[in-house]
Amino acid sequence: MTSDPMTAGTPLAQSGVPAAVAVRGVTKTYGSVTALDDVDFTLRPGTVHGLVGENGSGKSTLTKIIAGVLPPDRGTVAIDGETIKHIDPRTSIQHGVRVIFQDLALFPNMTVAENLVFEGDRPLLRPISARKMRTRAREALDALELDIDPGARLGELSTAERQLVAIARTVSSDGRIVLMDEPTAALTHKEIDQLLTIIRRLSEQGLSFVFISHKLREVVSVADDVTVIRDGQVVSTGASAEYDQDRITDLMTGGTVENARRDTPAEAAEQPVVEVRGLSLATIFQDVDLAMYPGRVLGLAGLVGSGRTEIGLAIAGLVHPEKGEVRYRGEVVHNRRDNPGLQYVPEDRLTEGLFLDWSIADNIITNDLDEAVGRGRTVSTAKIAEVGSRWRDRLRIKTPSVANPASSLSGGNQQRVLLARALAPRPDVIILNNPTVGVDIGSRADIHNVIRAVAEEGTAILVISDEPAELISVCDDLVFISEGRVVDRRRADTLDEEALLDIISEGGPS
């Protein structure tokens, strides 16, 4: 274990003022897995604290302990200088701790105002008046200088706006210590800037934030302090000025991560496996033409909301276009859902992806049941375990046993199970929607290597992504989508990140 002797485990002291949160000597195990091992963590009041680490390093477990959702096996949690004996969610909330989970825990069918003033424990017989609710909602939105209509239904807002409503609710309900897990995963670059500005402003007003993100650039820019966890242990903690992305990456992974660019193969000579012509659906996408070739990785670049996901879904047969056609090996396909040669990996693994109660191995094998047939032509549990273990090793899924439920994995490791499931039947076309969302930097390089290796084997791959570095590093060709239309096509090796970002944000060639 590499550690940073200068700072490892050193509490960030601030003279005279008690820490907003002080975690001391916390250990937490799940069965044979030690998720946290004697962890110290100090959140100074009025600061933003970036918490970083690879997938499965223990970040979510630490936030759950501070939020009182999980009891520690050993160690203590103090809030504002008061050590809390048996921390539970109610005590943590009473002390001003609020967690903004990735799913935001808001109510899409209620208005913004109703979401803002919702109190789960308010007696039914004492409802709040509509006028009071509007006033309180307005105040909460104004406090963050947000231009959002309190009467709008939450489900109609963009993800970024919902994120901001979640923060406004936290502030208006007297939250003072805010724990945010991957808050920017679904936001555009502009929305991320807006969110980070609001977080900075609120911290200057005295709120304290724990900010978990795999996007190290954001962490370095927004945080006052940084803590790096590796395998459940704090390997470094200190002022963010002492860190840059490279140093954090080294500390997280214990070594250097190489993120190579793909050696683009020679011009695609063969026939395309998939050919898309004139694909249109209402105002969502129009006249999309593209081709996917064996052994090549095509990137679909564009802003969130540009229509790129829907185009990917239409190619996968999960959304029905109104016009145009998709050909598979020259034949027009009518029901692509029946085609095991084509696999789609969704971005949202919790709602669209995994069977969380099933074992990791069962999740992987569902797509490749032939492989599970043993002697006597019955499904063999030994074979299922064998296939699961093979994929665990190949994608470095961090688990002591593939018999464990998928719910026992950290978010980034769940992402790998989804990928394994899609790759198991050896598809000849695979569509990956944001394949490394929520995945740490070391695992991202692993997943990129797997994508390249699968392409080498002859699979045609479509990668939908909003990460310029990812598109550049893994793709051969790029198609840019803006407002549902193809606005540009480039070979990836002719662009750098900046040029790519320019095309995406300007919505076409300059």
Ligand X SMILES: Nc1ncnc2c1ncn2[C@@H]1O[C@H](COP(=O)(O)OP(=O)(O)OP(=O)(O)O)[C@@H](O)[C@H]1O
Q: Considering the complex, state which of residue 61 and residue 249 has its C-beta at the smaller distance from ligand X.
A: 61
Q: Which residue in 226, 284, 253, 344 sits closest to 2, CA to CA?
A: 253
Distances (CA, A) of 502 to 40, 191, 220: 42, 16, 23
Q: Shortest approach of ligand X to residue 352 CB, angstroms?
A: 18
Q: Considering the complex, state which of residue 407 and residue 505 has its C-beta at the smaller distance from ligand X.
A: 407
| Inter-residue contact 219 to 188 (CB < 8 Å) | no
Q: Considering the complex, state which of residue 286 and residue 410 has its C-beta at the smaller distance from ligand X.
A: 410
Q: Considering the complex, state which of residue 59 and residue 308 has its C-beta at the smaller distance from ligand X.
A: 59
Residue type, 125: L
Q: Shortest approach of ligand X to residue 38 CB, angstroms?
A: 15
Q: Shortest approach of ligand X to residue 353 CB, angstroms?
A: 14
> Rounded to an integer, what is the distance from CA 492 to the centroid of its chain?
24
Hey, how many other C-beta atoms are within 10 angstroms of the C-beta on 75? Answer: 16
Residue type, 425: P
Give the DSSP letter of residue 352: I
Query: How many angstroms separate the CA atoms of 464 and 441, rounded?
Result: 18
Q: Shortest approach of ligand X to residue 450 CB, angstroms?
A: 17
Q: Considering the complex, state which of residue 70 and residue 303 has its C-beta at the smaller distance from ligand X.
A: 70
**DSSP helix/strand/coil, 281:** strand
Distances (CA, A) of 49 to 220, 237, 247, 249, 394: 10, 10, 17, 17, 34
Q: Shortest approach of ligand X to residue 1 CB, angstroms?
A: 15
Q: Shortest approach of ligand X to residue 414 CB, angstroms?
A: 8
Q: Shortest approach of ligand X to residue 182 CB, angstroms?
A: 8
The torsion angle over the Cα atoms of residues 145, 151, 156 and 160, rounded to 10 degrees, is 10
Give the side-chain half-sphere CA count within 13 A for 11: 16
Pairing mode, strands 225-230 and 74-79: unpaired
Q: Considering the complex, state which of residue 58 and residue 312 has its C-beta at the smaller distance from ligand X.
A: 58
Q: Shortest approach of ligand X to residue 191 CB, angstroms?
A: 21
Q: Considering the complex, state which of residue 42 and residue 443 has its C-beta at the smaller distance from ligand X.
A: 443
The residues, ordered by sequence, that sit 6+ positions from 309 with a Cβ below 8 Å of its Cβ are 347, 433, 464
Binding site for ligand X (CB under 6 A): 30, 33, 35, 53, 55-61, 398-399, 408-413, 440
Structure tokens at 109: 């069918």
Beta strands in 329-484 (DSSP E): 331-332, 342-345, 429-433, 460-465, 477-482
Q: Shortest approach of ligand X to residue 149 CB, angstroms?
A: 34
Q: What residues are paired with 120 via a beta bridge?
A: none
Unique residue bearing structure tokens 């916390």: 26
Q: Considering the complex, state which of residue 45 and residue 411 has its C-beta at the smaller distance from ligand X.
A: 411
Query: How many angstroms separate the CA atoms of 450 and 419, rounded?
Result: 10
Q: Considering the complex, state which of residue 59 and residue 448 has its C-beta at the smaller distance from ligand X.
A: 59
Give the DSSP letter of residue 269: -
Q: Shortest approach of ligand X to residue 169 CB, angstroms?
A: 23
Q: Considering the complex, state which of residue 176 and residue 444 has its C-beta at the smaller distance from ligand X.
A: 444
